[in-house]
Amino acid sequence: MGDWLGEFEQLVLFAVLQLEDGAYGVTIRQAIEDRTGRQVSAGAVYTTLERLEGRGLVLSAWGDPTPERGGKRKRYYRLRPEGRAALTRSWQALRAMARGSGRKLEST
Amino acid sequence: MSRVVPPGPDDPPRLALRLLERHLDPDAAEVITGDLREEYRQRVRSIGRGAARRWFWRQALLSLAARARRRTTAADTHHPGARKASLMTGTAQDLRFALRLFRRAPLFALTAAFTIAVGVGSATTILTAANWTWLRPLPYRAPAQLVAVGETDRAGGLATAGFLTIQDWRARTRSFESLTPIRGWTPTLAAEDGARRLNGMRVGWDFFRVLGIRPALGRDFEPDDDHPGRWQVVLISDGLWRRRFEARPDVVGSSIEFNGRPYRIIGVLPAAFEPLISERYYSRAEVWAPLGYGPDDRSSCRTCRHLRAIGRLRDGASPGEAEAELATIQAGLRREHPEDYGEANPRVGLLGDQITAAARRPMGVLTGAVAFLLVIACANVAGLLVARSADRLREMVVRAALGAGRGRLVRQLLTESVLLAAAGTVLGLGGARLALRALAASAPAGFARLDQATADPGIWLIAFGVGVLSLLLFGLLPALDAVRGNLEGGLRASRVTGGPRSGRLREGLVVGQVAIALVLVIAGGLMFRTVGRLLAIDPGFDARGVLTAQFSLIGQRWATDEAVYAFQRDLESRVRALPGVDAVGLSGILPLGGNYDRRGFGVEGVTYDSPDDVPSGDRYSVSPGYFAVMGLPLRHGRLIGSEDTPTSMPVALVNETAARTLWPDGSAVGGRIKFGTGSDSPWVTVVGVVGDVQQYDLTSAPLPQFYVPQSQSTDSFLALVIRAPGALDGLADRVRSEVAALATDVPVYGVARLEDLVAASVGPRTFLTRILGAFGAMALLLATVGLYGIVAELVTAREREIGIRLSLGARRGEVARLILARGGVLVAAGLAIGAAGAAVASRLIATQLYDTAPVDPGTYAVAAGVLVTAAIAAHALPLRRATRVDPARVLRGD
């Protein structure tokens, strides 16, 4: 099972992928909220990223502390090749399964 | 007092931040709080501070929950904080279990938290209020040594004294370290936007030294200031300094004009100084000047009893000893000035007692009442938890069987208790803050420091302690008992019930609740009846549609009677011309207006042996219009009219009490009196008799009352009475501008409807009634909830039996009777105990009652009726369920 991703993990990885160099807690959270309309907590995002990092799918690095963060540092995230591969696989699997379902889903 | 820096708009809620920082591992805390702070700032700008704060709280709590849910990964075990983390997850797990439990039984959790909130909230409110208005020592140096000293009034109370008397006491006593005279003072401050009347005091030069208060700015009074002609120096309050002088330090040494004369400001009192003495005896003072009396001044005489004395006892001297010594001194004074002193000896009372006198009794009653309420609340929580514990037993047993240690289970129960107590306490403290604010807003006179009675961390802590303790006592102990006793038994039973023991305990609790609720409802009812009886008393005048406004004519410009009289007539005619005004009158004092003008008087042909025997009465110096406005009935003779001028024969009206007691043969009209005991005052002829009015309060027997024409005896302090039914709104402002149009140095104050003055005269009782009423209502609610709980339980426990009965042909009515019988016994027992308890407890409020017996059958019956109604309401839902039991389903064994 190891490399399959949970739904929320997929959302987070898509956000990291698209934000490129600007992926950290705030932007990732907002990207998910903006695109899906789903309320997510900063703690959930962080916990997920921590887990993904533990599985070797993302890399992280400390940024500089800023005053508007109360002197706290940002933590930036990037996809590792393994993460990109896992995301691709999950996405392809989803697309393969979804094929032909569009009309049926929309008609309900 | 520590200064709290108000949080800036860019700071998220501090408590939420602290929660995050405490409960997250350092890395997570840094990233998550940083992210949330950053986004919070954006949100403050986009959705506003309030919404942003709510967002932040939500994020913080969800984030904590997300972290708690996180599976412990292998990496964590190598973390140096691993042990701490596992302990943390333990607590997190407890919390999660607790929250899940509350979610499963939300009604239980809500009721328990609400009950604790009611108990904690009302206890905190009353204890805080009692602490500030009653228990707390005065905010002065060594307050236990501070005393009030005065001669004794007819009722035996500590009263006023003349200047020379106080001087002699001071010179001859050894019990006092110092003794200083005080009096009220209300100078007029002229200003561009209209004259203001300031509340102040005239005091002996050492007044602030006696209290141990030093000016924050400038200097204190010196002995040299306290002389006739040199006393025009003032100390001002911090509030006045900030309001009028923008807190400029150079105000010291500058001049201020009172009553048209210059005074020098010599200092500013500290912001923390509380003018409690002025508040008790006069009005909350903002300006102080030396007394400045000389021995030969007209106001200095021994019978000019208008001063009070504040003293500090010497170390080791008691008020009793001081009083004994003053009695000896007074005996000497009596020998030296036999015509000036009566038989009574001076009195010495602790200043603290004097200041808190009005609040003590009501606060004592309320403290007792809140203790009752707290007992009900605890009983309610106990009842709830005992009921729960039966339910919980099964869960505990299962968990124990699956290997959870006893300690683990205890911790779980503890967590639940603390969580419930915390929720209830937070809710209760919030309620207490609101309640205290409401209390301060509705506090009657005499509850001196209630406006400051807010945060009192010590009391909060006690309240929280009580909350937790009640939960532990009633929640944890039964649960523990269950866990210990009944491990396998619990697993086998298909439905675990609390067993007969906990059932009886709960029934006992409900009986107690009903009893206590009845006591509180009766207490509220007795007070309610008292206030109703008081307000039904005819005060002797018609208060409806009358506005009153006071003003003072002080200063050089008003030195002559002609000037004062002319102003009065102009003002009356201008106000009479205002729209909606039916009639206008003037009087020196107002009934129930908080002021009085009491004079000793003589009756022609009567002599008195002792100064004690000289009668005194209330003197009203009025304009002809006064009687029509107040609706005073004329009994004999004529009223005062325009024919009574400064040069015509001096006349007076008397009230019925005076006519009856002074001229028992009915010859009042035509009789003659004189005010004061001096032989130089003129004889005044009585030309009419009018009805009595209640001057001081609604219940005291009226004194002799005299009405003299303003034209023959002008006053500097006057009250305007205006009858304008239907036109009272906005009238005050129009009256103010009429006064301002006539003179810029005449302040208007004390504007009030006469009806409000009547209501305010029963203010302390209304205050007590409202709070007791609220307590009664809460007690009723709690008892109803408790009763509902036990009846609902009864129905559940006997569902099977009911089903069987129904299937055997019992009618639904019989089933209802079955349930009602059990509940009815409990309620009846509670009512009987409660009525007996109320008969004892109501003696505590007997002094507050008026025309209402402590065991008033009507009130008791109504209160019992209210409780029975509540009990029926509590039975309604469970009964409905009981009568709808489906026998088939029950017999199938669900």
Taking only the tens place, the pLDDT of each residue in A56-87 is: 999 999 988 888 888 889 999 999 999 999 99
> Nearest 5°: phi and psi at B290?
-65, 155
Asked if B62 lies within 8 A of A41 by C-beta distance, the reply is yes
The verdict on a CB contact (< 8 Å) between A69 and B34 is yes
Residue contact B62–A43, C-beta within 8 A: yes
Contact assignment for B35 to A29 by CB distance below 8 Å: yes
Residue B618: Cβ-neighbour burial (10 angstroms; 0-12, 13-18, 19+): buried
Q: How far is B824 from chain A (nearest CA, A)?
A: 52
* Region of poorest pLDDT, from B478-487, B541-550, B600-609, B689-698: B478-487
Kindly determine whether residue B31 and residue A29, on different chains, have CB atoms separated by under 8 Å. Answer: no
Partners of A50 on chain B (C-beta within 8 Å) are 28, 70
Per-residue confidence (pLDDT) for residue A105, from 0 to 100: 77
A62: closest chain B residue by CA: B31
pLDDT digits (tens, 9 = 90+) for B612-667: 778 889 999 999 999 999 999 999 999 999 999 989 999 999 999 999 999 999 88
CB atoms B28 and A75 under 8 Å: no
Question: Which residues of chain A are within 8 Å of residue B41 when distances are taken between CB atoms?
Answer: 68
* DSSP annotation of B682: P
Quote the tokens at residue B222.
Answer: 């010196």
* Strands B583-587, B672-675: pairing kind: unpaired
- Provide the chain B residues 71-90 that lie in CB contact (below 8 A) with chain A: 73, 75
The residue length of chain A stands at 108
Is any Cβ of chain A less than 8 angstroms from the Cβ of B582?
no
Cβ contact A72–B37 (<8 Å): yes
Most confident of A6-10, B478-482, B599-603, B822-826: A6-10
Kindly indicate the confidence band of residue B837, based on its pLDDT and cuts at 50, 70 and 90: very high
Q: What is the pLDDT of residues B693-738, one digit of tens each?
A: 999 989 889 999 999 999 898 888 899 999 999 888 889 999 999 9
Nearest-Cα residue of chain A relative to residue B64: A43
* % helix, strand, coil for chain B, step of 5: 55, 15, 30
| DSSP 8-class letter at B196 | E
Can you read off the two tokens belonging to residue B13? 């809620």
CA A57 to chain B, closest CA, distance in angstroms equals 16
Q: Looking at residue B76, what is its pLDDT?
A: 40
User: Is the confidence at residue B75, as pLDDT, over 70?
Assistant: no
pLDDT band with cut points at 50, 70 and 90 for residue B686: very high
Nearest to A73 among B34, B64, B70 (CB): B34
Q: Give the best residue of B21, B27, B30, B33 to mutate against chain A (max A CB count within 10 A).
A: B30
Identify which of B34, B66, B73 has the shortest CB distance to residue A41.
B66
Question: Of the candidates B597, B601, B634, B633, which has an alpha carbon nearest to the alpha carbon of residue B616?
Answer: B601
Of A41, A47, A70, the CB nearest to B34: A70
Residues in chain A closer than 8 A to B28 (CB atoms) = 43, 46-47, 50
CB contact under 8 A, A72 and B34: yes
CA torsion sign, B184 to B189 to B195 to B199? negative
| Mutation for testing the B interface, residue in A51, A72, A76 having most B CBs under 10 Å | A72
Residue B63 and residue A30: Cβ atoms within 8 Å?
no
Tell me the residues of A at the B interface, defined by beta carbons under 8 Å apart. 24-26, 29-30, 41-44, 46-47, 50-51, 54, 65-66, 68-70, 72-75
In chain B, residues with a C-beta closer than 8 Å to the C-beta of A66 are 38
Q: How far is CA B479 from CA B390, B482, B502, B565, in A?
A: 8, 5, 11, 83
Which among A44, A54, A69 has the least Cβ separation from residue B66? Answer: A44
Please tell me the number of Cα atoms within 13 Å of B100 on its side-chain side: 9
What is the DSSP-derived secondary structure letter of residue B745? Answer: T
pLDDT for B385 equals: 73
Q: Report chain A residues whose CB lies below 8 A from the CB of B58.
A: 41
Question: B558-615, pLDDT tens digit by residue?
Answer: 888 889 999 999 999 999 999 999 999 999 999 998 888 888 888 988 887 777 778 8
What's the rounded mean pLDDT across residues B148-167? 91
Taking an 8 Å cut-off on Cβ atoms, the answer to whether A73 and B33 are in contact is no
Side chain identity at A54, as an amino acid letter? G
Assigned token pair, B68: 């708690």
Three-class SS of B534-577:
HHCCCCCCCCCCEEEEEEECCCHHHCCHHHHHHHHHHHHHHHHC
* Residue B39 touches chain A, beta carbons under 8 Å: yes
Please state the pTM of the whole predicted model. 0.72
Judge whether B840 is closer than 8 Å to chain A, CB to CB: no
Element (H or E) spanning B892, and its range? helix B887-892
Task: Give B861-884 pLDDT, tens digit per residue.
Answer: 999 999 999 998 888 888 888 888
Angle at B257 between CA B251 and CA B263, to 5 degrees: 65
The answer to whether the complex's ipTM is over 0.85 is yes
Q: How far is A4 from chain B (nearest CA, A)?
A: 17
Neighboring chain B residues of A42 at a CB cutoff of 8 Å: 32, 35-36, 39, 59, 63
pLDDT higher at B107 or B60: B60
Contact A51 B30 (CB under 8 A): no
Contact A69 B37 (CB under 8 A): yes
The per-residue pLDDT for B474 is 61
CB atoms within 10 A of CB B246: 8
Average pLDDT, chain A: 89
Lookup result for tokens 């698209």: A18
Region of poorest pLDDT, from A9-13, B241-245, B420-424, B733-737: B420-424
Q: Which of B377, B368, B512 is nearest to B782 (CA)?
A: B377
| Token pair for B866 | 């209210």
**Partner residue facing A42 (CB), from B35, B70, B75:** B35
Predicted pLDDT at B74: 37
Residue B21 near chain A (CB below 8 Å) = no
Contact flag B31-A75 (C-beta cutoff 8 Å): yes
**Nearest one of B89, B86, B35 to B65, comparing CA atoms:** B89
- How many A/B residue pairs have CB atoms within 8 Å? 80
